[in-house]
């Protein structure tokens, strides 16, 4: 049963990485009409609203009566933990969008994926130990990410956008660990609703604090990217992450989610006709190897060496 749950968790996290990878183009197009804070605010609030019927359907399939449906929403842990995850996600998403304004796509992709290092390091203080085999997988994934992103240029000194992206990776690490610690004990789909709404509120607050001007033309011009990201990236992707991490070690989860960059490259090749260089292909292969290595049970690998 445990193996089946882990397999389902791995598949859900792969689906999340797949959706996020193919949503990269939509995110970039949305920035043509809206500021990063405006885009994040609308897409996440919309995602939270669209997830409400999913919660009702899930309860119906689980034969939950109306009284229990509303009682579940009164769970204080749901709002506390969901809000905490939403706060982390909102801050990380804003830092990423601001960093990508000036950073190249390659540098942005590489620095953002540094959460694969942040999760095991912060996990030490969070009470989550990482096996030697997982450390090897993390190192391989980091090398693979470098090759995948290096063709777009990673040279030059440290700039402000680089600092923003590194901070983004740190906050994403906290987000992954917070999900691992808290979401296991609560309804993951309801938590996704709360997380999305809080993330959207963070975007609205930052937008209003900066005195940004909202126009209907701007929202209308970004309607398709907003809908795609709200339904696929925010609604499906982050819900799959919450559900998937319930049975998967956070370091393994971070490695699986780092495949987002691989799927983005594959999507660019098939959808946009972008060519993959030798370094990019090598990077994809190395990351895939790292993810497969992370799935090997450490105890079995250890026994085989005796």
Q: How far apart are CA 261 and CA 255, in angstroms?
A: 11
- DSSP 8-state secondary structure symbol assigned to residue 83: H
Length of the chain: 306
Q: What phi, psi does 62 have (nearest 5°)? A: -90, 5
Tell me the pLDDT tens digit for each residue of 201-251: 999 999 999 999 999 999 999 999 999 999 999 999 999 999 999 999 999
Domain boundaries in the chain? 9-297
- Reported as type and span, the H/E element at residue 193 is helix 188-209
Q: What is the mean pLDDT of the chain?
A: 86
Instruction: Judge if pTM exceeds 0.95.
Output: no
Contacts 24+ apart (CB under 8 A), 296-302: 296/133, 298/131, 298/132, 298/133, 298/134, 301/133
| pLDDT, position 272 | 62
Environment class of 299 (CB within 10 Å of its CB; exposed 0-12, middle 13-18, buried 19+): exposed
Q: What is the mean pLDDT of residues 65-91?
A: 89
Helix, strand, or coil (residue 127): coil
> pLDDT of 135-158, one tens digit each?
999 999 989 888 877 655 555 556
- Over residues 117-135, the pLDDT tens digits come to 999 999 988 878 888 989 9
Comparing CA positions, the residue from 47, 281, 265, 40 lying closest to residue 168 is 40
């Amino acid at each position: 049963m445990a193996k089946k749950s882990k397999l389902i968790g791995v598949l859900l996290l792969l689906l999340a990485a797949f959706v996020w990878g193919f949503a990269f183009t939509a995110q970039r197009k949305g920035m043509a009409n809206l500021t990063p804070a405006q885009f994040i605010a609308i897409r996440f609030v919309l995602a939270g609203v669209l997830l409400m019927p999913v919660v009702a359907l899930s309860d119906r399939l689980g034969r939950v009566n109306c009284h229990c449906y509303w009682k579940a929403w009164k769970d204080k842990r749901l709002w506390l933990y969901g809000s905490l995850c939403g706060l982390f996600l909102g801050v990380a998403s804003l830092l990423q969008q601001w960093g990508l304004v000036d950073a190249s796509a390659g540098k942005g992709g590489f620095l953002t994926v540094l959460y694969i290092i942040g999760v095991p390091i912060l996990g030490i203080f969070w009470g989550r130990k990482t096996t030697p085999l997982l450390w090897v997988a993390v190192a391989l994934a980091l090398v693979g990410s470098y090759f995948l992103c290096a063709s777009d240029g990673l040279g030059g000194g440290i700039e402000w956008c680089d600092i923003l992206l590194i901070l983004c990776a740190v906050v994403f690490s906290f987000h992954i660990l917070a999900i691992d610690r808290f979401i296991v004990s609560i309804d993951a789909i309801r938590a996704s609703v709360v997380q999305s709404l809080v993330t959207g509120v963070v975007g609205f607050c930052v937008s209003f604090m900066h005195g940004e001007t909202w126009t209907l033309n701007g929202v209308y011009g970004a309607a398709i990217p907003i809908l795609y990201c709200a339904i696929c990236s925010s609604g499906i992707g982050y819900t799959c992450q919450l559900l998937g991490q319930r049975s998967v070690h956070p370091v393994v989860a971070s490695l699986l989610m780092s495949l987002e960059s691989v799927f983005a490259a594959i999507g660019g090749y098939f959808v946009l006709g972008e060519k993959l260089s030798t370094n990019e292909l090598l990077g994809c292969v190395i990351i895939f190897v790292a993810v497969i290595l992370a799935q090997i049970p450490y105890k079995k690998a250890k026994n085989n060496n005796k």
